[in-house]
Chains A and B, each alone.
Chain A
Amino acid sequence: MKRLKLDWLILPLFGLAVILAAWAISSATWASNLPSPLKTWESSRDYVLQPFAKRGEMDQGILRFTWYSLVLVAQGYALAVLVGTPIGFLLGLSRTFARTFDPLIQILRPVSPLAWLPLGLVLFLNTGKEAGTYGALFTIAICSMWPTVLNTAVGVRAVPQDYLNVGRVLKLSRWKMLTRILIPATLPYMFTGFRLSLGIAWLVIVAAEMLTGRPGVGGFLWQEYNSLIYEHIILSIIVIGLVGFVLDRLMSLLESRFKTA
């Protein structure tokens, strides 16, 4: 087939048109409660065109909500990276540590954020009003930690023996062995883990905000569902998707920089 120069633009636009058509047809036929694309746009216009407006606690511009969510994700994700990377190193370096904790990790890893959140709330119940925030942070951190932990461990185990031999011949101290050889050699794997973790952190935020009712893009979505403003559910989904996509792209850029190093 002949390739057009504008394939990269035309084909995605065509895909979008197909989905929009399916959406419009669905809302006009069998899904009568689904707002049509046009209605969705009309209802969302204020939120999109004044993205940073603040009209009330749960009535703010969409980017303002997104910002709240991003701040919470950044905190939880930072916690995940700070805790997960050392655990990954320990898993990769020590056979005993790996044997001790690997089964536990394999069991905790598939637990859904929806299951962690109540536990997080209980854990921080004595903080009173802040319990929601801490519970959400706990949930984001524990759910998004695993890819960082596992990828770091794989990376540490994959450090070429040759590099370790260089360190042994030079009799490097443990600290130098870690900072000059192990960490740089593991960095590409670590960044793969960081990227996957960020994706999960962003997935978890929506669930966490829904259950805690925090202002944010997920909290907004749930509130508008309860207020029967279905257009805003769709708006929120689109924004969540776009933000997740951008985050992933940014992390890939960072990752590819370290791949070559």
Chain B
Amino acid sequence: MKPFLELSQIGKTYPTPAGPPAVIVENFNLRLRKGEFVTLIGHSGCGKSTVLSMIAGLTEPSTGGMILAGREVAGAGPDRGVVFQAPCLLPWFTAFENVMLGVDQVYYTADAEERRQIAEYYLSVVGLGEAMHLRPASLSQGMRQRAGIARAFALSPKLLLLDEPFGMLDSLTRYELQEVLLDLWQRNQKTALMVTHDVDEALFLSDRVVMMTNGPAATVGEVLEVGFPRPRSRAQLLADPAYYALREQLIGFLEERSHLRPVAAPPPAVPPPSRPAASRRPLQRLLGALTAA
């Protein structure tokens, strides 16, 4: 079967003022089936957000290309809905208006009433039915991210891109929103790619977990199939011994890779300078500091 999303040889390098250009991501290949939920996991700073940003079209890849649903894509567009880490709601609009901004763009053939209904539907599905006419400033962090999710789904995108969407939430809210996301994803049969550094989140949500090696020149390390039946429940997962085996494997990979990081040599052991007791007096210390400066 042809993949729904195909990334081939994607890479990103930045020129540096002096010396060779910095290679962030190199030779990144990945194929997603239609309707699949895939997570990218890796240490922070390894370049996983860069990969997502390139797929979203917000960062231009230095090498390689991608095909989405049979077409090559370049540049950003509403066929790829993005849920940003900070929800990135526009603070001068209400949650509803934020969603409508995208709905107006995508459903330009629908009339105003239909568009309003689309926005209201997604907002109520994520649980913002009551609060949709509030500005982000009056919403909690979790509610803002709900609006961010609603905005992405309301675009009815071919591909859903999530950049550590729950990274800034407390763990209870995070669990709640993971279920909201899973529910929406299942209802809409979306293909989704999510970046995270939370092992449990990756296992709970995804069909496959792609582990990235550490940068510079990060790329796909290993791929883990997560075969738990859907719909999933957290309790059921936690009762499954296979869950712990997968978890072990993921953490093992991450720890091993983190040891590959270059570590600076420990500082040389220099004994603290011993001073004559007289110089510890405040005035002397002050004078000393002044002359030293």
- Interface residues of chain A, those whose CB is within 8 Å of chain B, are 162-163, 165-166, 168-172, 180-181, 184-185, 187, 260-261
Contacts and interface: CB of A to CB of B under 8 A. Distances in A.
Contacts of A165: 58, 76, 82, 84, 88
B14 interface: no
Contacts of B101: 166, 170, 172, 180
A141 to B, nearest CB: 29
A261 B58 CA distance: 27
Interface in B46-101: 56-58, 76-78, 80-82, 84, 86, 88, 90-93, 101
B84 A162 contact: yes
Contact of B76 (A163, A171, A184): A171
Contacts of B90: 163, 166, 180-181, 184-185
A168 B76 contact: yes
Complex A-B, nearest 5 residue pairs according to Cβ-Cβ distance, in ascending order: A184-B92, A168-B76, A162-B88, A170-B105, A170-B102
A162 B155 CA distance: 18
A168 B88 contact: no
B87 to A, nearest CB: 9
A233 B93 CA distance: 51
Contacts of A170: 78, 101-102, 105, 155
Contacts of B80: 169
Interface residues of B, number: 21
B161 to A, nearest CB: 9
A170 B76 CA distance: 8
Given A169-B56, A169-B58, A261 B81 contact: no
B70 to A, nearest CB: 20
Given A169-B58, A180-B101, A184-B92, 4 more contacts: A162-B86, A169-B82, A172-B101, A260-B137
A125 B3 CA distance: 75
24 contacts: A165-B58, A165-B76, A165-B82, A166-B101, A168-B58, A168-B76, A169-B56, A169-B76, A169-B78, A169-B81, A169-B82, A170-B78, A170-B102, A170-B105, A171-B76, A171-B77, A171-B78, A171-B105, A172-B105, A180-B90, A180-B93, A180-B101, A187-B92, A261-B92
Contacts, number: 49
Contacts of B58: 165, 168-169
B285 to A, nearest CB: 32
Contact of A166 (B88, B92, B137): B88
A140 to B, nearest CB: 31
Contacts of A181: 90
Contact of A169 (B77, B92, B93): B77
Nearest to A161: B58
Contacts of B93: 180
A236 B147 CA distance: 57
Contacts of B137: 260
A123 to B, nearest CB: 40
A181 B98 CA distance: 11
Contacts of A260: 137
Contacts of B56: 169
Nearest to A180: B101
A47 B49 CA distance: 70
Contacts of A180: 90, 93, 101
Nearest to B89: A166
A164 B86 CA distance: 14
A66 to B, nearest CB: 36
Interface string B102-119: 100100000000000000
Contact of B91 (A169, A172, A261): A261
Contacts of B78: 169-171
Contacts of B57: 168-169
Interface in B161-192: none
Given A169-B76, A169-B82, A163 B102 contact: no
